[in-house]
């Protein structure tokens, strides 16, 4: 079963930890450091938001001379970086070194002359570049190189995973394939910055920032773009004039609650996006949700966007996840694999409903890593104890305090490999007492459930909320049954009981096969029957569902 020369799990335990430590840091990892110090979440956000404001998005012909294109644009100023990608046509993301270059480019840009329609004259940083003489200019020109903005399909992934030399390296391979690239991250900040330009027409001091998986280190190529319209700077009082007998105050419209203010602002910004935002389509206002939002598709960037406001707690939870994801390379690798596994088996879905969400799965993985001996990541209370005065955040009465400086957090002494962690993750949740216990990453301990929801994961900041309140009993049962099945498969491989041929998917790849789901006995603990029988039926199902029949899972 094991590929010739592939070491047994017990042998790879130490060596793959070393391999992980020796992995050449990708550009993303190198960019997230200042000298030897890791950048804080706030530093990364500030830097990227500023960079996005110096950046433009240009729709251009696929066959274009890159050199001439850059020479043409550099008349407006120095270009720091650029890249091309495809999304309803070919687009270039061009970052100037100075913001003024954009005004210079806008000065020479025409408004479109459309014959039968009328253009809404909103001047943005989204342009179209055309060739003056397409027939001669594009002839003999090779298409520009485009950066990928989506993940490979699952059957290609399965094949790639099979050529790794350990389960641990399979998890790292999956993460390398799925994680956001430097280019895609830039595009996410640019899309926020383009929406900020629209909102700035009413609120010149506002910022639009990405949160959620776009920035919390757990984002997969193709994931949605959660945007936060931050109006806080406007509310901040300037230092009051100490002299003089008067106070000055703005006259402002009053509304009964912050929720109503958010709904009105989002409703109006939603209309602006719909009416003036180039490339923004399918605008839906979902204002009665717990957290009111405007959903739309940013077609040129290729993102589904959720715009919210007054959502600072979610911003803090994104920062918390950023910290956990940056502490140890095993955290992200495990979360990416568990999320991919859940998506392939329909445990998570892009459609809202009673399913477990990626956010909940991440919390479960973090909780599991807190429970290792020694723990791989600290609890939220421990991070709170490390906090400085400037880390103190009380938002709407919720204590959101934790250390933001990654360098203050002592690295773990736990050296377990991902081979062990993946298998134990499934075993742990396959046997978790969901009926009586809740998951709590603040304490790093199970607690009694305060109410009878099938799955209870305490919101780390808004402690009275269950982040998985939507999950029903049957979805939880499916998760548990699949987790047991997968723990069993990995254990069989580890003990050498598995006797499948070398060409069959193994390790993480085997867990992504549709046949895994068909073996689950709903709601029942797997019977450890004779191994040979189990393997025989597993073999049969693999024959039926060979890798080619895997669904193309391009979404999130
Ligand atoms: N969030 C929350 N409570 C929830 C759901 C979401 O606090 N019940 C916050 C989290 O900070 C989360 C963010 O809102 O990261 C965005 O939510 P969502 O898009 O559902 O999750 P992501 O983490 O972005 O994951 P995905 O890749 O599935 O979009
Ligand atoms: Mg999201």
pLDDT in tens, 225-277: 999 999 988 777 667 667 889 888 899 999 999 999 999 999 999 999 999 99
Q: Which of 337, 364, 347 is nearest to 471 (CA)?
A: 347
CB distance 53 to ligand 1 below 6 Å: no
556 vs 499, which has greater pLDDT? 499
CB distance 196 to ligand 1 below 6 Å: no
Measuring from atom 13 of ligand 1, which residue has the nearest CA?
212
Distance CA 194, CA 285 (A): 19
pLDDT, residue 94, reads 98
**Closest ligand to residue 180's CA:** 1
Helix residue spans in 200-257 (DSSP H): 232-235
**pTM for the whole structure:** 0.89
Paired tokens of 447: 């607690």
534 vs 431, which has greater pLDDT? 431
- 335 CA → ligand 2 middle, Å: 15
Classify burial at 353, counting beta carbons within 10 Å of its beta carbon; exposed 0-12, middle 13-18, buried 19 or more. Answer: exposed
Distance CA 333, CA 345 (A): 19
Maximum distance among all Cα pairs of the chain, rounded to whole angstroms: 90
Distance CA 160, CA 255 (A): 56
Fill in the DSSP letter of residue 308.
E
- 362 CA → ligand 1 middle, Å: 10
314 CA closest ligand 1 atom index = 11
- 216 CA → ligand 1 middle, Å: 10
Whether 449 shows a pLDDT value over 70: the answer reads yes
CB distance 226 to ligand 1 below 6 Å: yes
Q: How many separate helices (H) and strands (E) can be counted in the chain?
A: 20, 15
Paired tokens of 295: 């959903």
pLDDT, residue 552, reads 38
Say which residue the tokens 């990708």 belong to. Answer: 26
461 CA closest ligand 1 atom index = 7
223 CA closest ligand 1 atom index = 27
209 touches 193 (CB < 8 A):
no
pLDDT in tens, 88-114: 899 999 999 999 999 999 999 999 888
- 216 CA → ligand 2 middle, Å: 10
- Residue burial 65-97, b: 16+ Cβ < 10 Å; e: rest: eeeebeeebeebbebeebbbbbbeebbbbbbbe
315 CA closest ligand 1 atom index = 11
Q: Residues with Cβ < 8 Å from 123, sequence gap 6 or more?
A: 106, 109, 111
- 32 CA → ligand 2 middle, Å: 21
CB distance 314 to ligand 1 below 6 Å: yes
- 360 CA → ligand 1 middle, Å: 8
CB distance 285 to ligand 1 below 6 Å: no
pLDDT, residue 499, reads 52
CB distance 213 to ligand 1 below 6 Å: yes
Q: Which of 200, 158, 170 is nearest to 545 (CA)?
A: 158
* H or E segment and range at residue 380: helix 380-385
362 CA closest ligand 1 atom index = 23
Whether 19 shows a pLDDT value over 50: the answer reads no
Measuring from atom 21 of ligand 1, which residue has the nearest CA?
359
How far separated are the first and last CA of the chain, in Å rounded?
32
462 CA closest ligand 1 atom index = 7
pLDDT, residue 240, reads 67
- 212 CA → ligand 1 middle, Å: 5
- On average, the pLDDT of the chain sits at 88
Give the mean pLDDT of 521-538: 49
Whether 137 shows a pLDDT value over 60: the answer reads yes
Helix residue spans in 23-65 (DSSP H): 27-31, 41-53
CB distance 416 to ligand 1 below 6 Å: no
Measuring from atom 7 of ligand 1, which residue has the nearest CA?
314
Looking at the DSSP bridge assignments, the partners of residue 60 are 90
Distance CA 330, CA 13 (A): 13
Model ipTM value: 0.99
pLDDT in tens, 21-78: 444 344 344 456 666 678 999 999 999 999 999 999 999 999 999 999 999 999 999 9
pLDDT in tens, 276-335: 999 999 999 999 999 999 999 999 999 999 999 999 999 999 999 999 999 999 999 999
Whether 152 shows a pLDDT value over 50: the answer reads yes
CB distance 360 to ligand 1 below 6 Å: no
Whether 555 shows a pLDDT value over 50: the answer reads no
Measuring from atom 15 of ligand 1, which residue has the nearest CA?
212
CB distance 553 to ligand 1 below 6 Å: no
- Residues belonging to the chain: 556
pLDDT band at 213 (very low <50, low <70, confident <90, very high): very high
Distance CA 275, CA 268 (A): 11
CB distance 212 to ligand 1 below 6 Å: yes
pLDDT band at 527 (very low <50, low <70, confident <90, very high): very low
pLDDT, residue 146, reads 97
CB distance 361 to ligand 1 below 6 Å: no
Whether 4 shows a pLDDT value over 70: the answer reads no
pLDDT, residue 235, reads 73
Residues around ion ligand 2, judged by CB within 5 A, are: 212-213, 224, 226
pLDDT, residue 500, reads 55
- 223 CA → ligand 2 middle, Å: 6
Whether 543 shows a pLDDT value over 60: the answer reads no
pLDDT band at 501 (very low <50, low <70, confident <90, very high): low
- 416 CA → ligand 2 middle, Å: 30
Least confident span in 24-28, 400-404, 512-516: 24-28
pLDDT, residue 495, reads 76
- 464 CA → ligand 1 middle, Å: 17
DSSP character string of 515-552:
HHHHT--TTSPPP---HHHHHHHHHHHHHHT-GGG---
pLDDT in tens, 118-129: 888 899 999 999
pLDDT band at 347 (very low <50, low <70, confident <90, very high): very high
Whether 79 shows a pLDDT value over 80: the answer reads yes
Distances (CA, A) of 326 to 39, 245, 503: 10, 52, 35
């Amino acid at each position: 079963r094991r590929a010739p020369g592939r070491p047994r799990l017990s042998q790879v335990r130490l060596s793959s930890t070393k391999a992980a430590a020796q992995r050449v840091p990708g550009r993303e990892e190198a960019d997230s450091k200042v000298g030897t110090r890791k950048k804080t979440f706030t530093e990364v956000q500030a830097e990227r938001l500023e960079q996005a404001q110096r950046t433009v998005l240009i729709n251009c012909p696929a066959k274009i001379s890159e050199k001439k294109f850059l020479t043409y644009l550099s008349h407006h100023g120095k270009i720091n970086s650029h890249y091309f990608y495809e999304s309803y046509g070919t687009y270039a993301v061009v970052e100037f070194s100075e913001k003024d270059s954009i005004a210079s480019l806008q000065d020479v840009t025409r408004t479109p002359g459309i014959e039968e329609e009328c253009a809404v004259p909103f001047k943005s940083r989204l342009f179209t570049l055309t060739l003056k003489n397409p027939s001669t200019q594009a002839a003999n020109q090779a298409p520009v190189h485009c950066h990928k903005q989506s993940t490979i399909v699952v059957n290609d992934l399965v094949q790639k995973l099979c050529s790794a030399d350990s389960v641990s390296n399979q998890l790292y391979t999956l993460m390398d394939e799925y994680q956001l690239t430097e280019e895609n991250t830039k595009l996410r900040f640019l899309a926020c910055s383009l929406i900020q330009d629209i909102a700035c027409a009413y609120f010149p001091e506002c910022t639009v920032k990405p949160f959620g998986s776009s920035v919390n280190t757990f984002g997969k190529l193709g994931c949605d773009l959660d945007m936060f319209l931050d109006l806080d700077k406007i509310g901040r009082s300037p230092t009051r004039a100490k002299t003089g007998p008067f106070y000055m105050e703005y006259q402002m419209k009053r509304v009964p609650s912050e929720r109503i203010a958010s709904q009105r602002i989002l409703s109006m910004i939603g209309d602006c996006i719909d009416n003036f935002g180039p490339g923004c389509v399918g605008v839906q206002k979902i204002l009665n949700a717990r957290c009111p939002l405007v959903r739309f598709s940013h077609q040129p960037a290729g993102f589904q966007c959720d715009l919210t406001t007054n959502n600072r707690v979610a911003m803090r939870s994104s920062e918390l996840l950023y910290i956990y994801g940056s502490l140890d390379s095993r955290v992200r690798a495990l979360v990416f694999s568990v999320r991919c596994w859940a998506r392939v088996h329909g445990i998570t879905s892009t459609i809202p409903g009673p399913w477990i969400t990626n956010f909940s799965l991440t919390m479960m993985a973090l909780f599991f890593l807190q429970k290792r001996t020694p723990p791989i990541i600290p609890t939220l209370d421990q991070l709170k104890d490390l906090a400085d005065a400037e880390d103190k955040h009380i938002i709407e009465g919720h204590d959101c305090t934790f250390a933001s400086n990654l360098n203050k957090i002592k690295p773990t002494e736990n050296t377990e490999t991902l081979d062990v962690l993946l298998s134990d993750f499934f075993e742990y949740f396959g046997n978790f007492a969901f009926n009586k216990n809740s998951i709590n990453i603040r304490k790093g301990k199970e607690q009694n459930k305060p109410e009878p929801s099938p799955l209870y994961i305490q919101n780390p900041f808004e402690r009275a909320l269950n982040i998985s309140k939507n999950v029903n009993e049957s979805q939880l049962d499916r998760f548990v049954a699949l987790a047991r099945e997968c723990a069993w498969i990995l254990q069989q491989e580890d003990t050498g009981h598995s006797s499948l041929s070398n060409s069959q998917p193994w390790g993480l790849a085997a867990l992504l096969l549709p046949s895994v789901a068909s073996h689950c006995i709903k709601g029942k603990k797997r019977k450890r029957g004779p191994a040979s029988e189990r393997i025989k039926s597993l073999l049969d199902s693999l024959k039926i569902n060979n890798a080619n029949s895997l669904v193309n899972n391009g979404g999130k």
